[in-house]
Each structure stands twice: as C-alpha cells, then as structure tokens.
Chains A and B, each alone.
Chain A
Amino acid sequence: MAILWVAMSFTSNFSNKKNIVPLRISFEHFVGNEILKLDSANYKNALGQTFTVSKFKYYVSNFHFKNSAGKDISMEGSFLINEDEEETKKILLAKIPEGNYTSMDFILGVDSLHSCSGAQSGALDPVNAMFWAWNTGYIFLKLEGRANTSLSPGHFFEYHIGGYKQPINCIRKISFDLSKSEKTLTKEIKIKVNVLEILKTPNAIDFSKLSSVTDLKNATVIADNYKDMFELMPNEK
C-alpha cells in the first residue's frame, strides 16, 4: 500500500512538472482596416473593384519559436482557422509554453509529410472540405465571395489554393521578430490577418480576369500574395 502511495505521488509530481501553460494565438480577420464581416460588407480591392467575402479559411502549421535563451521550441501539427467558426480563431499551442520569445514562425499550409500521410482525423480530416481528393493534398486557403466585375456565373470568385510539390508549391513560411517582447512574458500573440493582401501584392487581382483558381493553375499567383497577409498586432497590457 505504501509503495503504491509513493508511486502515485511520484507520478503526480512528475506530471505537475510537465504541466505547461500553453501559449495562445489569436487570428483577427480584417479587410484593410475594417474587421471582416462575411457576406454583408462591401470592400474594394487594389483596382477599386467592389467585393464581398463569403468564406475565408486556411491552415497554419508547424509553429516554431526561439526563446531569449536561444533555445528552439517547435510543435508539429496543423490548425484550421475558419472565419465562420469563431472558436477556431483562437488556438492553444499545447506544446509551447508561455515564455520570453525572440522569434516565431509557422507555415501557411500543410507540410508535404502530412499532405500524403493517408487518412487523418481532427483538423486534417477530409470532411472539413479542405482536401483535394483528385490530386492528393490539402487546400491551404479558401477565399470565396462575390464581385460584380467577376465574369463567373453569379459573379462569384473562388480561390482554393493548394499544392505542396515543386514546381507548384504554395506553402509559405511566415516569420515574426518578437525580440521587442523578449523582456516580457508572452501569454498571447495576436495576429492581424488582412484579406486585402491576398488580392494585392505582388499580383493585383482583377476579378474580371481571374475569378477562379481551384487547381494548380495560377495557384502561386495567389500564394505569393497571401505570404504577407499576416501582421503582428501590438500586445495590449
């Protein structure tokens, strides 16, 4: 009995040590400086064409941090962020504790290993409708909406971007310098995600010319644009 008690207290001590307070990251969706509202709000792209957004979802994966002691901490795995599901916009990095960090990076997309690993569940379950069955791999980002200038039926535009193999690789690495916050304990990182950037630089999207990207054709045009849609938000203290 005594041995059992000792063993139990040891395990509980052990697990207490391992308990970490995970770092939180929240993604806040904007179009320019306006908060993104699905369907109801009108926005303008770089060419002044009016549009609405009906769907906005994307994968972020493989978070990696460097702390002030120069140590690397990383975590494999993917999160599906969906404007239409509020709870998906705040994520908990179970393996990354609150801490003092100098840099952070992650990828937009799903890495090649997890893209061809077969049947998976959770964020990577194909029922999430972010999977290409006919060309194995995940759709990294979906942006859909309407623009009067679009020549597609119903004036819709649809960008479904994926592809993890050369020559068409739409995985983009996103990096942030956190050295300014290195002195303070980081508990939550807020990231502004600007939909307008997907339509802006380096390729200003003209809805009348490119209203549909749903396979590898033209995928990198959009991927090169979404590379800079993330921006660190100042931490309110």
Chain B
Amino acid sequence: MKNKIVYTLFILIAVFALCNSFVIENPYFKITKKDVKLKIPKGFPKPNYSFKKNKLNPDVFVLGRKLFYDNLLSKDNSVSCGTCHQRIAAFAHIDHKLSHGIYAKIGTRNVPALQNLIWKDAYMWDGGVTNLEVQPINPITSPIEMDESLANVILKLRANKEYVKLFNKAYKDTLINSERVLKALAQFTGLMITSNSKYDKYMRKKDTFSLAEKNGLQLFRSKCASCHKEPLFTDNSYRNNGIKMDSSLNDFGRGKLTEIEKDYKTFKVPGLRNVEMTYPYMHDGRFKKLKDVIDHYSNSANHDERVDTLITKIGSLSAQQKKEILSFLLTLTDKEFLHDRRFADPNMLQ
C-alpha cells in the first residue's frame, strides 16, 4: 500500500515536471522588468521621445518584438520589419543599396539603422515623421515596402488567437487597435540604445585608443563633428553632403516634403554609431565602403553644386589622414548592442 502511494506520487511528479518543461520559456528570449528599464547613458542628452504615455513594460515589449518580426504586417505575409532591419547591422540592411519590399520591389532609399531613436527629433531620410510611434505606418502602408493597410493589420491581429493573448497580457484587456500596435513597436525600437562601443569605453577611461585611433578622433572632431556631433554623431540637421543626384531616382530629399527652396537635395545627417556594419552608405546606398565615403568628402571636385559649406571646408585629406579617420570610425562599433539578446528574433532557435 505504502509502495503504491510512493509510486503514484512519483508518476505525478514526473508528469508535472514534463508538462512544466514544455511551458518554460527559453531564457534567451525572456524579457524581465530589468530588461525594459530605460537607462540614459552618461553624457547623452535628454531624449526627445518620452515613454511617459507609453509606459515601459516587459509584456508590451514582447508584443512589440513579436510584431517587429512578424510577416503578418505585410500584404502577402512575406516580409517583416526585421527583414530589412537586421540586428547584426544595427538594424540597417547589410549589403542592400536600396530597400527591398514585397513582390521583389525595390525602394528609392537606403534602409537606415535603428538605434538611439529616442534622441531623434524626426525620422526617415527627409525627416518627414516627427514621432517615433507613427513611424511604422510608413513601411507598412508603402506600396513598395509592405503594401498593407493599417486597418487590415488590425483585422489580421484580431483574428489571431496568439495575439489576442499577447494583447491581453500586455494591456490587461483584449482590445486590439492601431494605437496599441504602434506603441508596442515604439517600446521595442525605442529601447534599441547603443552606447558601449570602444569609443564610449575610451571616453569613460575604461579602454585605450591606438595612436591611429587617437589621431582619427582628433581629425574627426575638426573635420566631421560639426554635423556628426558627439555623442550621437548627428546634429539632427538636413544637409546636402555633396553627392550628385542619381537621375534615375530623382530624389529631392527634404525639399519635396517641405516645399521650401533651401531644403531641396538635403537629407538627414545620419548618426555614425556602428557605421562599420551599416554598409552600403548614403541615402541611396551608392558607396560600398567607408573608404569611398571618406574619399568623397575629400574630393570637392566631384561635389554637387548645392553642397553644404561645412563639407567644402573639409578640404583634401591625405592618405594617412583618411586611414586614421577610418580607424576611429571603427571604434564606434558596439558589439554588445549588435548581439543584444533582447532584440533577437524570437522565431529563431538559438
């Protein structure tokens, strides 16, 4: 009799343990409160986007992550945000000049990196989007990107049991609307913060620079930093960086948006963090290598007639100077960010 009880108990425990092991989350993808705590890196300014009306919460973040990597957002369920925004490229698209959309369509601009977004005052190469939350409406509805309507995305989500559960977990009721979708995405992308590159560690006196890197930083500060301002490496302005317009794209940049004369052929100054990984470069992805970019700035003979005066001032750089600037730019790579497990695609088995 006693044996029987022990035996039954043993079976019960075994079954319980087995069941439990199926529901235990893979710890690599588990998001805790600590994971979604906003930490402003030392020396960074006050962010432009505030999470005050979009309170950071692990369950909302997990929902945002799922949406970011879900093909359901596109019309034929073929591409997700993560298709073009790759973690290993600081969420730019490695080796793609111009964005790729559904039906093998090619866009007109280079996929920008997604990093330190909450410090931006506007998004897209022309700065057309002024709030992080409404940014995803562009790729979702663009006929050359995901070609889907926001209303249809909501319908698809409402019909999906898994999402009903996730929304309920995140917002404590099952309402699914565009506001919640967009806010969840903003939590996921807004926390993509990079601040642990070699440069950052050097600035915090936790690492040292080689002579070339030191010289490069000095050169960078005198030649490049008025637009690529530290610590975000952009002054959030729009400028003509001297590249001549590709007549097959006919992209007038910010001017087309504002209809203001001085804005024609200007584009947002991109931040340079992780620039090693975000190739190819410029708004139309015309330069394959960082070396090509530095060569371009150094060669005023090839500049567009509306080039920014700050670029003209750079002047001609020697081969040695170019190498040093390049050495410095490579210190902006933040491997912790590029491998941050919080931003990994949860559909991938690790």
Which A residues fall within an 8 A CB radius of B? 116-121, 125-127, 129, 131, 133-136, 167-168, 215-217
Contact = CB atoms under 8 A, between A and B. Distances in A.
Given A131-B137, A133-B129, A134-B129, A125 B259 contact: no
Contacts of A131: 134, 137
Interface in B123-168: 124, 128-134, 137-138, 141-142, 149-151, 154
Contact of B186 (A116, A118, A136): A118
A116 to B, nearest CB: 5
Given A119-B182, A136-B131, A167 B257 contact: no
A interface, over-half SS: loop
A125 B138 CA distance: 15
Contact of B134 (A126, A216, A217): A126
Nearest to A116: B130
Interface residues of B, number: 30
Contacts of A129: 151
Given A118-B182, A136-B128, A127 B154 contact: yes
B129 A119 contact: no
Contacts of A125: 177-179
B177 A118 contact: no
A125 B179 CA distance: 7
Nearest to B184: A119
Interface in B52-76: 53-54
A119 B260 contact: no
A216 B259 contact: yes
A97 B70 CA distance: 47
A121 B179 contact: yes
B137 A126 contact: yes
B101 to A, nearest CB: 15
Given A119-B181, A167-B260, A215-B257, 6 more contacts: A118-B182, A119-B134, A133-B141, A134-B129, A136-B134, A168-B258
B183 interface: yes
B128 A135 contact: yes
Contacts of B131: 116-118, 136
